[in-house]
Chain A
Amino acid sequence: MEQTNRTGTWRTYQENIADDHYYYVRSCIRQTFFPGSEAALLNILRNELGKDVMDDPRHTSCSGIGYHSDIVPLPTIMTVVARQFALMTETGYRNFLVSCVTSFGIYNEILHLWEHHPETLEKTRDFLWKATKREFTIPENVVHTSDIVHKFRKEIFSRSKYSLVHQSDKMPLRIAEHVGCHYAKIFPDKGVGGAEFPRVLTDMIECWGGEVVDYPERRHCCGFGFRQYIIRENRGYPLANTRKKMESLAPYQPDMIVANCPGCSMFMDKWQYTIGEMEGRTFGPEGRGIPVLTYEELAGLVLGYDPWDLGLQMHQVDAEPLLMKMGYDYSPSRKYLSAEGKYLGKPMVPDYCCL
């Protein structure tokens, strides 16, 4: 009986994810801090899996960071979102692929509000027409990019060159996962596994040979907080929340952390440096930090991509110890080169933690 109930609960959170033909919208934070993740994802979808993905030069930010920091009103963000849908409609697509967790929450929230307050949908149509002379249809399918990687995780692994295992003893790498709050906490039925049992990263990790580390604050927010990070004087808030997570997961000695939100990935990477500078404290072995990877970077490593094409040189916590654990074949000397092979110098080495 208990098993039946669990299965039933899990079925509630099986997200409908389209097979192909996606209209792609990018993330302000991901393109700034993890451009290699975006390039890897598009390469995996288009060239490894043969999927059709439309990257429309005309789309803009969803304005979600402005919305959650209260300088973008609700009717404005609804109309910005409606314009993205109009562009999708005009190009003949029906499946909307979102690469940002904040945006994913925004799109789901607005679709929910339009459904439950239909007068706002009509008002948005009026606003969009007045502002742009465009019209839109509502997407048939709205999914996050991590949903797509989750859906095709077995196909990705069938092309793998590496597994998530230690080269030395073939034991699984121990991986702490973090699911961004706006992925499934706002609308649990829109995320794989919902807010209670999110499987989106866990299934990828296990499929690719790793072992998921459970830790007490696994579902705690990374602490971004929008205005709490944007305003320098408020940054104690995000720092304290990431510190709480790091303290919770460090005793389990994970080999890395993986997140499905670009903001969370960036903060959990950068705050380790800050904590090192403030307290002389590190969370990994031998005075090092714990590498924080995006799920696209993780997929790219499994597929054997060059780590410097994935952008691991943009991380503050050095990922090279992880590559060595995996027995990865890579060239350390290419880390700080431009596309033309010009040496760009290298970052200063901090006193604690990260390089």
Chain B
Amino acid sequence: MSGMDYYEQLEQDIRFTDGLSACMSCGICTSVCPAAEFSDYEPRKLMIRIQKRNHEELERLLKSDLIWKCGQCMSCKTRCPRGNTPGMVIQALRKVSQETGLFVHSEKGRQQLTVKRAIGDNLLTFGYCVHPDKLLPESHPEQGPVWEWIYENRKDVYERLGANIYREGEGALRDIDSESMEELKSIFRVTGGELLMQKIEYHSTE
């Protein structure tokens, strides 16, 4: 075993201990899983691999594409007869993968840099995970020509619908005041949110 015990790290996350208590491998999670239908991700097999508590096996998992294929719909939580939630176990795996830097060993893991630079930067810039200014039509061809029209006319379109875009105050899409944005950034600094984003940048560009 090299260095840290990954299983112990996982056990420090309450989503892991709440999400995996006594899997009997019935496979209901896999049968309802949208990711299992369209990829090689199978929550049942994932739970088996984790329960082996094998350090090398866990390292392979943390370095793999597999843990990044869950879509977080949490359909597995509803259905598990034992009250397990593979979707929450996945959250813990992804956390350890990012904190240890192992996520850069897989193609899907390396995508976290794009997620951080899109959603993370939106959060700390606008106070929203999504903002129309950042939904460029060339990056979102699937949104179609109506979105292109909205994007090009966004100030007029949003104002027409009662939104308060590019202004402070009440209403949809309003600019969040600087004091509130400072509080949000302070929360990220104090709670480790900023550090996680720095780790994603560091390991991705190292």
Question: Chain A interface (Cβ within 8 Å of chain B)?
Answer: 26, 28-32, 35-36, 38-39, 55-61, 63-66, 68-76, 78-80, 83, 105, 113, 116-117, 120, 127-128, 130-132, 134, 181-182, 185-186, 188, 195, 220-221, 223-228, 230-241, 244, 270-271, 273-274, 308-309, 311, 313-316, 336-339, 342, 344-350, 354
Contacts and interface: CB of A to CB of B under 8 A. Distances in A.
Across the A-B interface, give the 5 residue pairs with the lowest CB-CB distance, nearest first: A225-B71, A76-B193, A39-B162, A31-B172, A347-B149
8 contacts: A32-B135, A61-B123, A63-B123, A66-B129, A70-B112, A79-B187, A232-B139, A350-B145
B129 A73 contact: no
Contacts, number: 260
B144 A74 contact: no
B interface bracket (residues with beta carbon within 8 Å of A): 35 or more
B131 A32 contact: yes
B176 A57 contact: yes
Contact of A233 (B94, B111, B149, B180): B111
B184 to A, nearest CB: 5
B58 interface: no
A315 B130 contact: no
A133 B130 CA distance: 27
Contacts of B169: 57
Interface string B163-206: 10000111111101101110110111111110011001000000
B118 interface: yes
A71 B119 CA distance: 8
Contact of B192 (A76, A224, A226, A337): A76
B162 A35 contact: yes
Contacts of A117: 14
Interface in B92-136: 94-95, 98, 108, 111-112, 114-116, 118-120, 123, 127-132, 135
Interface string B136-158: 00010011111111100100111
B22 interface: no
B152 to A, nearest CB: 8
B162 A65 contact: no
Given A132-B183, A181-B75, A236 B147 contact: no
B72 interface: yes
B168 A57 contact: yes
Contact of A181 (B13, B74, B183): B74
A349 B145 contact: yes
Contact of B191 (A75, A227, A315, A342): A75
B68 interface: yes
A276 to B, nearest CB: 9
Nearest to A54: B170
B9 interface: no
A70 B98 contact: yes
A71 B158 CA distance: 29
B42 to A, nearest CB: 15
Contacts of A32: 128, 130-132, 135, 173
A55 B123 contact: no
A331 to B, nearest CB: 14
A57 B177 contact: yes
A349 B146 CA distance: 9
Nearest to B76: A185
B72 A226 contact: yes
